């Protein structure tokens, strides 16, 4: 960018110098024409029609050859609207032939020099304008491309930020779920342990009760049997003859009921033990899956965070490139504005000026031939 800016500044300086020389040359040309014509600035600015009238008034005082040249020059001046030919026509009859011929020759040389200078300037302008246009188009395209890349990169960075935030939220939820599941598992484990303990204690208590009752009924049966054998013969029966067994033989007797209760306690222990095993397995599976999921999401967060940092670094580089390219474009635009006054035709085009100048030289040569032939 520094090289381009320096080049543009140098070219702008060269252009200003050429412009200054061109202005000085135009001033010199004006003074030359004034010296040749020896008429005031106001007379030089008169229209071709007025000049024609002045020439016509002097026609009678001139020799025929010069009068013919004057008429020819004035006619061509009117056709081309040329002040140069009009001024020369005024002097064609008033001055000696030798002086008129000298003026014509000087004007031909001047027009040739002017044509050469303008051709050189035209070539320089064409080259500078072409180079400047290519530079402006190139830098403008580069600026547009960089802006598009920056917009795309900023959108990517924003998306990565959203994804990282979403993953971080999921990790937080996963941690909360694991913590909650752990708390529930601890409570469930404590409850199952209490249930198993209660069931075992119940079974032990019922087993002891059954044993006590069975011992009692066994002893009671033996006692009633002895009493029955020692009764007096012929005594009236108070109870039946069978041994006393209490309520144990009745449907749903105490021992039977206790055995059912014992069975219930045993089933409760088994169910609590099975429930604890299933819950523990399910919890361990959940914890393992959570660890895997957390590791995957954490890795993804790490990857996306690294990618985001890299994209931010790329963005800084692109923004610096854009700033530099924009400066180069601005410099090219400034140089273009400096070229416009002298390189972009505001009046007659270069081709029109060239054609007019060539016609003026042709007319001057023809006038010179007419004087030479006189």
| d(C-alpha 228, C-alpha 134), whole Å | 138
Residue 334 lies inside a defined structural domain of this protein: no
Instruction: Report the first-to-last Cα separation within the chain, whole angstroms.
Output: 67
CA 74 to chain centre: 68
Q: What is the pLDDT along the chain (374 residues), one digit of tens a residue?
A: 555 455 555 555 655 655 555 445 444 444 544 544 444 333 433 433 444 444 444 444 446 766 777 777 777 666 667 777 777 776 665 656 667 677 777 777 787 877 787 877 888 888 999 999 999 999 999 999 999 999 999 999 999 999 999 999 999 999 999 999 999 999 999 999 999 999 999 999 999 998 998 888 888 767 655 445 444 445 455 445 555 555 555 545 788 888 899 899 999 999 999 999 999 999 999 999 999 999 999 999 999 999 999 999 999 999 999 999 999 999 999 999 999 888 876 556 667 777 777 777 777 777 777 766 65
In terms of domains, do 320 and 360 share one? no
The range of the structural domain enclosing residue 219 comes to 165-230+239-327
Q: Can you point out the beta strands (E) in the chain?
A: none
Residue 158 lies inside a defined structural domain of this protein: no
Residue 291 is predicted with a pLDDT of 96
| d(C-alpha 310, C-alpha 154), whole Å | 12
| d(C-alpha 282, C-alpha 182), whole Å | 11
| d(C-alpha 160, C-alpha 308), whole Å | 6
In terms of domains, do 117 and 205 share one? no
In terms of domains, do 11 and 47 share one? yes
- Asked if 368 contacts 100 with a C-beta cutoff of 8 angstroms, the reply is no
Residue 352 is predicted with a pLDDT of 72
Domain count, the chain: 2
CATH of the domain at 253: 1.10.287
Residue 367 lies inside a defined structural domain of this protein: yes
Residue 121 lies inside a defined structural domain of this protein: yes
Residue 157 lies inside a defined structural domain of this protein: no
In terms of domains, do 221 and 321 share one? yes
Residue 64 is predicted with a pLDDT of 73
């Amino acid at each position: 960018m520094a090289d381009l800016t320096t080049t543009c500044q140098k070219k702008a300086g060269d252009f200003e110098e050429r412009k200054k020389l061109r202005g000085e040359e135009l001033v010199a040309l004006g003074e030359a024409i004034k010296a040749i014509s020896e008429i005031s600035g106001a007379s030089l600015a008169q229209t071709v029609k007025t000049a024609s009238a002045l020439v016509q008034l002097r026609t009678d005082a001139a020799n025929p050859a010069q009068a013919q040249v004057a008429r020819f020059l004035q006619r061509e001046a009117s056709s081309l609207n040329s002040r140069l030919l009009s001024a020369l026509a005024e002097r064609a009859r008033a001055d000696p032939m030798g002086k008129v011929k000298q003026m014509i020759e000087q004007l031909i040389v001047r027009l040739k020099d002017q044509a050469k200078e303008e051709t050189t300037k035209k070539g320089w302008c064409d080259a500078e304008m072409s180079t400047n246009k290519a530079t402006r188009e190139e830098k403008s395209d580069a600026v547009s491309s960089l802006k598009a890349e920056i917009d795309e990169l900023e959108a990517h960075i924003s998306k990565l930020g959203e994804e990282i935030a979403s993953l971080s939220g999921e990790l937080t939820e996963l941690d909360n779920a694991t913590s909650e599941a752990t708390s529930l598992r601890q409570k469930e484990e404590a409850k199952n342990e209490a249930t198993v303990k209660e069931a075992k204690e119940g079974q032990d208590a019922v087993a002891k009760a059954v044993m006590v009752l069975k011992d009692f009924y066994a002893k009671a049966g033996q006692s009633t049997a002895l009493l029955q054998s020692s009764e007096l013969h012929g005594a009236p029966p108070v109870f039946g003859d069978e041994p006393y067994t209490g309520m144990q033989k009745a449907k749903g007797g105490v021992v039977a009921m206790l055995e059912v209760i014992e069975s219930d306690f045993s089933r409760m222990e088994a169910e609590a033990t099975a429930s604890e095993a299933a819950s523990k397995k399910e919890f361990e599976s959940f914890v393992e899956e959570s660890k895997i999921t957390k590791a995957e999401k954490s890795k993804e967060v790490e990857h996306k965070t690294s990618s985001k940092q890299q994209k931010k670094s790329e963005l800084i580089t692109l923004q610096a490139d854009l700033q530099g390219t924009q400066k180069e474009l601005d410099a090219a635009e400034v140089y273009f504005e400096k070229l416009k006054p002298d390189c972009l035709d505001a009046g007659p085009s270069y081709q029109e000026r060239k054609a007019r100048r060539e016609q003026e030289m042709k007319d001057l040569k023809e006038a010179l031939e007419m004087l030479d032939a006189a």
